[in-house]
Amino acid sequence: MLDQIHWLAAVTVLGVLEQAYFFLQVIYARRLFGISPPKISGPPEFERIFRAQVNSSEYFPIFLALLWQAGLFFHQGLAAALGLLYLYGRYCYFMGYKASSSER
């Protein structure tokens, strides 16, 4: 069975790396705007980055559960492909949310 889950594991690792990238974006924004934890309010630019990261991390456990269940019980390749599509969509969402409304 372990030889059949390598695609799911790869997508999981990519998802974790994407979440780490989002976390780093918040850290950089905190430094840029001088906002110390635990404060979560500040300039609109910071709040957009922070909110996009929080929105993404809220849905990450659901994504992982669905990815692994679909991969184990249905088809690993299809689940991995849809997982990659979701991660790409999440990245586009983050970048779009991060941009000001006049730049979208």
What residues act catalytically? 31, 104
Task: Give 24-85 as a DSSP string.
Answer: HHHHHHHHHHT--TT----SHHHHHHHHHHHHHHHHHHHHHHHHHHHHHHT-HHHHHHHHHH
**CB-CB contact of 14 with 84 (8 Å):** yes
Residues 39, 24: Cα–Cα separation, whole Å: 16
Phi, psi at 51, each rounded to 5°: -65, -40
